Amino acid sequence: MEIIPVIDLMHGQVVHARMGQRQHYQPIQSLLCSSSAPIDVVSALLELYPFERMYIADLDAITGQGDHLATILHIQTQYPNIEVWLDAGIKNADALASWQTVKVTYVIGSENIASTHDLTKISQQLNGNFVLSLDYNQTGFLGCADLQTNTEHWPEKVIVMTLSHVGSQLGVDIERLQTVISHADTRAIYAAGGVRNNDDIGILQGFNIAGALTATALHNKNYDPRKLKS
């Protein structure tokens, strides 16, 4: 199972995401480094472990307050071998245009998709090469309801993003993962939100999860990716 570190970018800094309450996010305080500058945080994570990819959430782009395009390009220049999974709040095919200068794997969050028609157009433009994030908060599924169970619209990689568990120490959302897995067929499922330690990773491995997205556990040194069992 793969561990994918998460970088949440807001107003030029890496912030600590907590339970999807973006208005309250603060600059990250990490045991890995003393800085919240994006390049410093990325460097510290790669010193911890040679991760092959990172998930970047551009929260300014997601909330319509600008973007971190230059920052992401800088990270890619410094670390060209890292695959970036980017959630930039893409709502439709037209929204991809401003990101064409950056070579990333796009994460399309269900919270931003109003209709399956929009997702189909995005998929056509990307030749199906994207990751779908099925987003949930305390109230339930976010976005076009049909995406939750209609796997016709799912690409090969799907994230189960439980925002209410992010940075919460609540543990992984097993019930939600089991529901998605039951519909997934051969798709690779990635868990996001609530990973606290090696025990949680072990639970996910028991469900044959393809990977886990995590930030808090890495920055608090509650989880050592070097102890991951294949």
pLDDT band per the 50, 70, 90 thresholds, residue 58:
very high
67-78 average pLDDT score: 96
Q: What's the pLDDT at 19?
A: 53
pLDDT band per the 50, 70, 90 thresholds, residue 70:
very high
List pLDDT tens digits, range 111-141.
999 999 999 999 999 999 999 999 998 889 9
List pLDDT tens digits, range 5-36.
999 999 999 997 765 556 667 788 899 999 99
Token readout for 122 is 């995005």
210-220 average pLDDT score: 91
Between residues 160 and 199, the one the model is more confident about: 160
Q: What's the pLDDT at 105?
A: 97
Token readout for 205 is 């491995």
Domains and CATH numbers, the chain: 2-227 (3.20.20.70)
Q: What's the pLDDT at 53?
A: 96
CA-based torsion, 164, 170, 171, 174: positive or negative = negative
pLDDT band per the 50, 70, 90 thresholds, residue 223:
confident
Cα separations (Å) of 201 from 129, 143, 229? Answer: 27, 28, 9
Backbone phi, then psi, for 22, in 5-degree steps? -60, -30
The overall average pLDDT reported for the chain is: 90
58-75 average pLDDT score: 94
pLDDT band per the 50, 70, 90 thresholds, residue 47:
very high
Q: At what angle do helices 38-48 and 69-78 cross, to 10 degrees?
A: 40
213-219 average pLDDT score: 90
Cα distance from N-terminal residue to C-terminal residue, the chain? 6
